[in-house]
Structures are given as C-alpha cells and as structure tokens.
Structure 1
Amino acid sequence: MLADIASLRDQVWLLGHDETRDLQPRIDARALAVGLAGATVADLLVQSHVVINQGCVLPQGRGKPADPVTAAVLEVIRDQPKAPLLTDVLREPIPRFAERVHALLVASGIIYEERRTLRSVRYRLVNDDAANWIRADFVRRLYRDLDDPAVDTLCALVWALNLHSVLVLPYSTSEAEEILRAITDQIPVRAGPTSRFFAVPQVALGVRAAIGDLATAAF
C-alpha cells in the first residue's frame, strides 16, 4: 500500500503527525524536519539522483524529480562548489523546508485546511486511511519479512527519528528499537552493493547525528 503515497518523505510526514489531533507533530518539530530532510535524501537516492560517499552527497545525472520540493533540494546539492556533507544537507536543505513540505501536501490533495470562524485553522487528511495504510505496512514489517526495500527504508527513518517510541505498536519501545536497528543494519546486505538502497543506513545515521546536534545547539 505504500505505493499509494510513493514519496518516503510524505510517508514519514504522515507517520510523524497525529491524525487524531489535527495533524500535530508527534515529536519535536525541529527533529521531525531533520527526518523529513533525511527522507528527501532517501527519495533522491532511490531515484538515482544522488549517491552518498564518505559522508558526502554527490549528484548523479542531469534529470530532476517531478516533486518540486525534492527537486529544490537536489538543485541546492548540485549548486555547491563541492559535494556537501550529508549532515549539512539534513540541517536545512532549502529555506523554510518544513513549511514547503506542508504546502505541497496541501497542493497534492493529501491534507486539507479546515478554516473555522474565530478559531485557528486546523488540518485533516483527505483520505483518512492514508496514514493507516502506511502504518500497517510498517507494523507488519516488524514481525514479518516483506522483502520490500522501500518499507525497510521507512523503518530505518522511523528508527532514526525514534518515532517508534510514540507510535502504538505490538512491541515495547526497546523491542521495537532492536527490531528496527536490525532491519536498518541489514539493508546493505539484503539490497546488495549496487542497489540504490545500499546507502540508506548512512542516511539514518546522519539523521540521528543531526538530531543529536539539536540537543546541544544554542537557541
């Protein structure tokens, strides 16, 4: 069912927001933005627009994604005088990145604004089942091998964000942590060295490192 929302970034966005609370973030918004940036890099990886080598993101080819936000991130990577560090790309890939992702979800018909008289705007899913489909495939992967590298990549990003600690799962947080870490570690072996998914664990580790930096940053 993940094919219904093909972008890994959009899947992470939906898992990271609570549809029962007007799509409020389940975790710190800054950390979630880093995770969305990581998911965007993963989208670029699996679409063969970039490769990751020694912690740097290198553009590949001349094509560009149809998704305008992902395309904007790729353009920033291409415009650098030298290949940027993955952690630098994750911190702020383009100006107002999280807001632009949100706006694209509205424009794409995945979420909609509900305007209320004398009250703040709230957001809803256009298809209430969208988050459930993604969550179901994610949970199924925890206890069964789906042989789907896209689902494994989603698991790696959930692990990187520690998002499993706030989701309702059939496992404790520590059990889910162990399973997700094992799935992440196995991606290169299962995918093979020539696969577009081979570097996904590097993205997950980069997300964790960038989020760790948030904890020590001065505000």
Structure 2
Amino acid sequence: MKYVAIAALALILGAWLPNAFSDDTGKIQYTLGSSTAIATSQGLVIQLENVTDSRCPSDVACIWAGQVNVTLTIQSPTSKGAISLVKSAGQNSTTPFDNYVLQLVDVKPYPKSGQSISLSDYIVTLNVSQASEQKIRLVSDSKLCLAGVDTCVMAKKLHLAPLKQIRVGLGALDVSCKDGYQLVLKSTNNMPSCVKPSTADELVKRGWALASDEITKLRSLYESAS
C-alpha cells in the first residue's frame, strides 16, 4: 500500500507544480526545500535530507572554490533510495535513479563569511529527465542460461531481483516473483518489476505497466512461435 500512496501523491501534486518548468531538452526543473517533499510529473517523490556546504564565502578570496553536496531521498512507483549530488565550480553532477537522471543545478543561498545557514534555509534546484531506454528481451537467452550451471533456474528458484534475473539470461516474461508479488512489465521498454497486486493495478491505470492480459498474450505468442 506504501507505493500506491506514493503514486497517488505524485498524481495529486504532479498536477500542480508551481516550482517546475520544462525546456526543449526534455528536462524538467524543480526547486525544493527541506520542509516538504515534492512530487514530479514523472512520478518521483523527492525529499531534501541534508546539505553539506564547503563553498568559499562570496565575500572571501579563496584558493579553492569549494563545493556543495546535497543528499536526497527519492521514491518512484517501484523503488526507493537515497542519492547524493555535488555542485562545484564548473561541474554539476548527475545521478541515475530508476530510469531517470537527476542533475543538481543550483543550491541557494550562497554562503557568506560569519553566516550560519540551516537546512531549512536552503533551496535546491534540480533537473529531472528520462534516461534513454533500451528494450529488454522478453524471452530467455539459452546460451546465457546454460553457461556452466543453469543460472536461470537458480535465479528463478532464489527469486533474485528482476534485473539480476535478466542479467543471467532470463527474459522479462520468465522473471519469477516471490509469493504475494506480481510480475509487471514497463510499457515502454519491457523492464520487469515484482510488486504487490494493488500496486500493479495502479501502475496499469497510470500507463506505466502492461496489463496482465497483455502479458498473457505475449507469453502465448512466443510459446506458439517456439
């Protein structure tokens, strides 16, 4: 239910984003502070957790310009985690997360000598863009599966993470999920995920995932062709 709540929050807040604007590169820019999380139109919920600021104060001449490090927690419909982004002179770091790329654009205010800046005072600007997607194979690669021990059989028995099952040779349609979880495939690139049935329904409604009957049709199609 946690991911369903996250997705619902993203849908509600994503419809009203005064802190966001897009450009012709496909990036969408957001500003956030530490007091509240923001929900992006891409379905991410982002929270500012910490800022470590070693930038040279604007009223001081320094040998080194310094840098600022920002820690964020991020949740998508299918995963969650924490990332760090660094901004220094001439460099804005980028970090991938769940098929998205986040770039740190700016951190304000800029420090001044003798001034103490609390976390609640910081405003962070981010670019969020869709990572280029590569289609994931639907059927298993027998050459990979039979390299040494049948790694595909072991991966399915152990219910490894879906992308780990893909790496050993399984196809997206053959990924195995733990009891209580359901296989879904991302509609744009066949990326498999194992989620609760209630989350699967929400992902299908949003157009993120293929419906279960579409997955069944794909299985039948490839089985009849083999």
Band the TM-score falls in, shorter-chain normalisation: under 0.3
TM-score by length of 2: 0.25
TM-score by length of 1: 0.25
Higher relative contact order (CA 8 A, sep 6+): 1
Structure ranking higher in helix proportion: 1
Structure ranking higher in strand proportion: 2
The structure number with the bigger radius of gyration is: 2
